[in-house]
Amino acid sequence: MNILRSILIQITMSMACFVAVAVMSHAAIGQLTFEPSWQMPAYPTVRNSILEWINQSSAEDQSQAQARALWPTTELRPLGGTALLSRVAETFSLANSQARALFEACNLEHLGSIPPDASWLDDHALSNTLRHNLRLYYARWLAQQGFYDEVILALEGLKPSDVVDPAGLLFYRLVAYHQLVQPEKSRVALVQLLEQEAALPRRYQQVAKLIQRDIAGLEDESLDHIARRMNDVHRRLEFGRAGKQVQMVENGVVESLDKIIKKLEEQQQQSSGTGGSAQSSRPMEDSRLPSLKAPMKVHQRDIGSQSGWGALPDKERKQAMQQIGREFPAHYRELIQEYFRDLAESADSSPSN
């Protein structure tokens, strides 16, 4: 009995140790899993990096001295990410002529539909410190002006560790994806941004929360989703853009509307078929046009270079509005009608991009 009791005690102790190790391992894994993937850089770290860039630049001594003056040893007024990025861009403008031109362009009122040229930032012969941070500075300006496609391009490949304002990088990427109606990419950017929620500027927190609630119930191919894509088309047309990208979005909108119309027809046919109505065998036969019997083949049209290629004829559009109106609120019908009307009006006035 003593031997048996000793064995049982040893087994019990072994199991207890195993459970303890497993719990500790699980806790460690959980801690690693939720470790933030990015951190806000400290002022001394940024300062050292910028001073190193200044020392390696080919700027004149006077310009270098002016640039160094922006970076005192002790920062009397702590800089947030946005202000820190602005100071970095100003520093570059003092020691680099191309950076100065971009910096000045981003600080002037912009009335045109074409953003300043920053293609020179693609030159990998330049310092990454300059390239990465000016790309973010430029992207911030683009987002403020509504050039969301360009924001994505400017930030492509950048990581939070590449820039002095990682929160700004993630925030403007989130805003661009949200405005371009890309909910899945918006969610990814949102999750990463909120890893350091407490460290974010208050305005970032508020906007992020609004976006989080906004995309929570957004479903692909819903009228809400379609309406947002229509707004994106309106934004592009306001910039005078009617090229391939706009046509692709328009194409998607028309196809999505066609799917909704077709789905409603099928539902009505099924409902009429089971309801025993005398008219159930031929739903909508007297009211719809032949072109509504199958998905619209937008690509068969000669779209040319104008944005009105997706506009429906007046009679056909009325048929679509009648069908959609049977199942959805009036404001959706009005929005869709306004969308096609604006496309038709812009057909002769928008240049091709």
- Give residue limits of the domains in the chain: 43-216, 223-268+286-346
Asked if residue 235 lies in contact with residue 241, where contact means CB atoms within 8 angstroms, the answer is no
C-alpha 137/C-alpha 337 separation (Å) is 39
* Coil, helix or strand at residue 152: helix
Asked if residue 162 lies in contact with residue 130, where contact means CB atoms within 8 angstroms, the answer is no
**pLDDT of the residue at 283:** 47
Task: Determine what percent of the chain falls in helix, strand and coil, rounding each to the nearest 5.
Answer: 70, 0, 30
Say how many C-beta atoms besides its own lie within 10 A of residue 352's C-beta: 14
C-alpha 353/C-alpha 351 separation (Å) is 7
**pLDDT of the residue at 242:** 57
The torsion defined by the Cα of 159, 163, 167 and 172, in degrees rounded to 10, comes to: -80
What are the b/e assignments for 12-26, b being 16+ CB within 10 Å? eeeeeeeeeeeeeee
Tens-digit pLDDT profile for the chain (353 aa)?
444 455 445 544 555 444 444 444 444 444 445 688 999 999 999 999 999 999 999 999 999 999 999 999 887 566 777 889 999 999 999 999 999 999 999 998 877 778 999 999 999 999 999 999 999 999 999 999 989 989 999 999 999 999 999 999 999 999 999 988 888 999 999 999 999 999 898 889 999 998 898 888 776 656 566 666 666 665 666 666 656 666 666 666 667 666 767 777 777 778 776 654 444 444 444 444 344 334 433 333 343 444 443 445 666 656 655 555 544 445 455 555 666 666 666 655 555 54
Cα–Cα nearest to 103, from 125, 77, 70, 76: 70
Phi, psi of 22 (to 5 degrees): -65, -40
Cβ-proximal residues to 90 (8 Å cutoff; 6+ apart), any chain: 70, 103
Distances (CA, A) of 184 to 80, 178, 214, 244: 29, 9, 13, 23
Asked if residue 29 lies in contact with residue 61, where contact means CB atoms within 8 angstroms, the answer is no
* Coil, helix or strand at residue 278: coil
**pLDDT of the residue at 210:** 87
Q: How many CA atoms lie within 13 A of 210 on its CB side?
A: 10
C-alpha 232/C-alpha 234 separation (Å) is 5
* Rg of the chain, C-alpha, whole Å: 29
